[in-house]
Amino acid sequence: MKNILVVDNDPITLHILVGMLKSHSNFFQILSTESIKPALEILAKKKIHVLLTGMHLPESDAFKLSLLLSKNTETRVILITNNSSPPFCAKIKKMASVIHFDQVLDISLLIKRIFTELQIDYGGQIRGLTLSSLLQVLELEGRSCSLLVTTKANIGTLYLTDGKPTAAKAGILTGKSAALHILNWQNVSIDIDYKPKEMSLEITTPLMTLLLESGQIMDEVLSQRLNLRQHNRYDCLVGVEYQINDINYHCYMRDLSEGGAYLETGQPVEVGQRIVLSLYSPMLEHSCAINGKVVRRDKKGIGVRFEELGLKQKQVIRSLIESCCVPISKPSE
């Protein structure tokens, strides 16, 4: 996975840029800092592929950081300024590894340039479509690409050549075993990179056979696994608000039950943290506040267990389940 470092001494701008980049792809990891000193410490410890800086840094600091990395062939510097002075522009132009944006009017151009520098031919992110359906479409079209597949707690990659699965990786698994593991994940998001990758041939099994085998594995898992949950869970995509220490945050709720919920959020919420979740039912035209406790944390969000619910809270939850959710028929791996 590629690493992007964002350096800006304005915390609001920093938060916006990091959130914007995270929302576009799972292909890269975002690191951020508000000053040069910690940025240099990160650069010394980690391989950074793209450094994004200059928005609110003094010109002298931006130039110093750019100059330091100008001879580093592994790191591309994208420098964003606003009406910078002609002498500064002239000095930056002499640094071949520095890309200078002065007065960014179209943020999509910046995003496209970042993908280009990372050698990613980004085909977008897909949600709400099963992986098996997408694979059949790509096979029909004979597309070569890599698919980064993520769930709440898992990440894996499938590589296709002319529409056929040729390699896969998921944790320590590779090849066919990794592909079967990924195919059994539920509620996935899929990022597509159409840039061809040179991969050793690890999978020779046809796609339809892989899909049939993964289905058999899932049936065996379902037949052997006891449902230990007290309440049935339901998939959803609902915008919600939650409060921690009197600070409000907005996020998405991705599943819901009378026992708890999963919230997709990038905020650094700790396990054991108590939160107050606000839910609104369009059907009932009522809202309610629910006290809960964070019992699980993963890359994409948090699992919240509700504390004792009153009648009104249960009514709001049930109406949301009825109007906005679908049952989770298979367990998430």
Residue 226's pLDDT band, with cuts at 50, 70 and 90, is very low
pLDDT recorded at residue 28: 85
Q: How far apart are CA 299 and CA 261, in angstroms?
A: 16
Q: Which residue has the higher pLDDT, 182 or 266?
A: 182
Asked whether the predicted pLDDT for residue 333 surpasses 60, the reply is: no
Tens digits of residue pLDDT in 313-327: 999 898 888 887 776
| DSSP letter, residue 49 | S
Task: Choose the CATH number for 2-117 among 3.40.50.2300, 3.30.465.10, 3.50.30.50, 3.40.50.12780.
Answer: 3.40.50.2300
Q: How far apart are CA 116 and CA 93, in angstroms?
A: 19
pLDDT recorded at residue 209: 92
Contact in structure between 101 and 79 (CB atoms under 8 Å): yes
Out of 51-55, 104-108, 130-134, 207-211, which region has the weakest mean confidence (pLDDT)? 104-108
Q: How far apart are CA 103 and CA 253, in angstroms?
A: 36
Average model confidence (pLDDT) for the chain?
84
pLDDT recorded at residue 224: 56
Return the SS3 of 169.
Answer: strand
pLDDT exceeding 90 applies to what percent of the chain?
26
Separation in Å, CA 112 to CA 124, 193, 322: 11, 13, 40
**Which span out of 8-12, 20-24, 126-130, 304-308 was modeled with the highest average pLDDT?**
304-308
Asked whether the predicted pLDDT for residue 223 surpasses 70, the reply is: no
pLDDT recorded at residue 97: 78
Mean pLDDT throughout 2-7? 89
Chain-centroid distance of CA 243 in Å reads 22
pLDDT recorded at residue 228: 46
Positive or negative torsion for Cα 167, 168, 171, 174? negative
Contact in structure between 153 and 188 (CB atoms under 8 Å): no
Asked whether the predicted pLDDT for residue 227 surpasses 70, the reply is: no
Mean pLDDT throughout 18-44? 84
Give the architecture (CATH level 2) of 234-327. Answer: Beta Barrel (2.40)
Placement of tokens 């992986």 in the chain? 131
Chain-centroid distance of CA 53 in Å reads 22
Q: Residue 195 burial (CB < 10 Å; 0-12/13-18/19+)?
A: middle
Q: Which long-range contacts (CB under 8 A, 24 or more apart) does 308-316 make?
A: 309/258, 312/286, 312/288, 313/279, 313/288, 314/258, 315/281, 315/284, 315/286, 316/279, 316/280, 316/281, 316/284, 316/286, 316/287, 316/288
pTM to 2 decimals? Answer: 0.68
Contact in structure between 129 and 122 (CB atoms under 8 Å): no
Tens digits of residue pLDDT in 70-80: 777 788 888 88
Asked whether the predicted pLDDT for residue 332 surpasses 50, the reply is: no
Domain spans in the chain, listed from the N-terminal domain onward: 2-117, 122-224, 234-327
Contact in structure between 150 and 301 (CB atoms under 8 Å): no
Tens digits of residue pLDDT in 160-199: 999 999 999 998 999 999 999 999 887 788 999 998 788 8
Q: How far apart are CA 1 and CA 203, in angstroms?
A: 22
Asked whether the predicted pLDDT for residue 83 surpasses 90, the reply is: no
Q: Which residue has the higher pLDDT, 331 or 208?
A: 208
